[in-house]
Structure 1
Amino acid sequence: MRMTVGFDLDMTLIDPRPGVVEVIDALGEEAGIPLDGEYFANNMGPPLDLTLRDVGAPEARIPELVARFRELYPDIVIPATVALPGAHEALDAVRRAGGRTIVVTGKYGPNAAKHIEALDLGVDVLVGELWAAGKAVALREHGAKAYAGDHLGDVRGAIAAGVTSIAVTTGPCSREELAAAGAEVIFDSLTEFPAWFSSFGAPEPVR
């Protein structure tokens, strides 16, 4: 059976922060609402509407702000985004083992797809707009055995799906926070993933 491994996108496989800062600052100026792009970029993970509520954006304007963010995003964020260290190598490790890769992200699906194409990540399946425990729906549907992410919400998604939770400290959460949330494997970056994956799921030796 082909093994499927899931990955989060933002701050796990890619770093879109510079472009996010620019878009959020422009969005706030355009809408006449104080929005701090640095704050949004440094707290990526939750869907945009949740973060807008957290910073006190008017509830009635949130749908409009989200829609405008999605419009501005492709021209500004996509070109400024880079793959994080080890991202391509981690995906390649799964493929070389005959496995499948699935990206499950809270990001708007069409923009996530643009990132994957622009950076030639070549994942097999993309599922967008799922957050925290909600990610378990896609992970179970596609038979994932493990899920890698940078946020406490990603750990919750893996646990809810009953799969191995892999965490990386490339995002906003510390090693201690990720461990406390229940992450089973914690890396400084995905550069450590291929060596670990080479023995993941391997049969126990006959004794």
Structure 2
Amino acid sequence: MQSQLIDPPLTASLFPVDAMSARRSCPLRALAWPGAGHTRRPDSYQASPLPVDIGEHRTQPHTQSHTVTEMRLAHLLFDLDGTLTDPKPGITRCIQHALKTLGREVPEADALEWCIGPPLIQSFAWLLESDDPALIKQAVFLYRERFAEIGLYENQVYDGIPEALQVLHERGFRLFLATSKPLVFAKRILEHFDLHRFFTEAFGSELNGHLTDKPSLVRHVLARTGGIPGATMIIGDRKFDLLGGQANGLHTAAVTYGYGSEEELRQAGADILFHSPQQIGRELTLFFQGDQR
């Protein structure tokens, strides 16, 4: 299986929200925010710094537009890697396999954590220090060769995720998977860990590279599900998830237990930070109402 090289730019309008204003007085705002560069990791994006937390104090003044109690948050889009499951062993070992086969230097697994999240093509372009389409395509093929048989299962569900998904499902939220991982692999992972039963539908990229960028993927999900941006939230662990949601006018939440640093998530303009899977279920059911209509 070979992959066509598609690497569209990631751009988004930012809509920062003070998460703690939702905790105390329940207002929610969508305020345009100018972009500023951030280069902690080797990927291209524009984001703005914003202090945000779901802790015990307000961190940013807010501008009221409408209240959470006036809105039903109907759809939740979940990222997969670093949000529902910890895929580090499988992803890093498959990257190491590809690099070793190509005769390249093989970094330690910890040095490859930044590869969990962005499109695989981008990661290999950086690791190989090359923009040669044929070389990058070969690396992706070698990665998938191992991943399809072994790496897929070198993975584990984060503690508390099944329980969080269960309570959200029972409260009336419609759950959708929205991952840049090829859908053929994502579905197998959900089924392997018995998580598929919580999701209305799963969405992912195609093996030819289509829909690997989150803005396009989220737009595709909205079109397929009839989701209303103002009643939809995307939840992920990397800036790519947040920018994908922001580009389509969604509410955004970031998890800090995955592979994006808290600094990255703050600068990407997350509306809310969740520090554990348990917090996802607890906070969303406390401040929002699901509606399956």
Same fold by TM (over 0.5)? yes
Higher normalized helix content (fraction of residues): 1
Please say which of residues 9-18 and 23-32 is displaced more in the overlay: 23-32
Code of the residue aligned with 1:85 in structure 2: it is: D
Corresponding residue of 1:32? 103
Cα distance change of structure 1 residues 156 and 2 upon mapping to structure 2, 3 Å threshold: closer
Distance 2:268 2:98 in 1: 33
Code of the residue aligned with 1:116 in structure 2: it is: L
Mapping for residues 50-199 of structure 1, pairs under 5 Å: 50-55=122-127, 56-57=129-130, 59=132, 60-122=134-196, 123-129=199-205, 130-141=212-223, 142=225, 143=227, 145-199=232-286
Question: Conserved in 1, the CA contact under 8 Å of 2:178 and 2:218?
Answer: no
Distance 1:190 1:81 in 2: 17
Cα distance change of structure 1 residues 170 and 57 upon mapping to structure 2, 3 Å threshold: farther
1:8 aligns with 2:79: yes
Match of 1:49 among 102, 117, 121: 121
Distance 1:119 1:31 in 2: 32
Runs of 4+ in 1 over 4 A off after TM superposition: none
Q: CA RMSD in A?
A: 2.2
Question: Conserved in 2, the CA contact under 8 Å of 1:78 and 1:118?
Answer: no
Aligned length: 203
Code of the residue aligned with 2:170 in structure 1: it is: R
Question: Conserved in 1, the CA contact under 8 Å of 2:204 and 2:217?
Answer: no
Question: Conserved in 1, the CA contact under 8 Å of 2:175 and 2:200?
Answer: yes
Cα distance change of structure 1 residues 51 and 85 upon mapping to structure 2, 3 Å threshold: same
Cα distance change of structure 1 residues 173 and 79 upon mapping to structure 2, 3 Å threshold: closer
Kindly, what percent of the aligned residue pairs are identical? 28
Q: Deviations over 1:155-192 (max 9, x none)?
A: 11111121210100123322233122111110112221
Task: For residue 88 of structure 1, report the CA deviation from its aligned partner.
Answer: 1.3
**Structure 1 unaligned regions, length at least 5:** none
Question: Conserved in 2, the CA contact under 8 Å of 1:17 and 1:42?
Answer: no
Q: Deviations over 1:13-59 (max 9, x none)?
A: 11111122222222212222224362333431111111111121462
Q: Deviations over 1:115-155 (max 9, x none)?
A: 11111111221111232322331342221611100001111
Question: Conserved in 1, the CA contact under 8 Å of 2:113 and 2:259?
Answer: no
DSSP 3-state at the match of 2:235: strand
Distance 1:157 1:147 in 2: 8
DSSP 3-state at the match of 2:148: helix
DSSP 3-state at the match of 2:118: coil
DSSP 3-state at the match of 2:194: coil
Task: For residue 75 of structure 1, report the CA deviation from its aligned partner.
Answer: 2.3
Question: Conserved in 2, the CA contact under 8 Å of 1:5 and 1:94?
Answer: no
Code of the residue aligned with 1:136 in structure 2: it is: V
Say which structure, 1 or 2, has more relative contact order (CA 8 Å, 6+ apart): 2
Which structure has the greater CA radius of gyration? 2
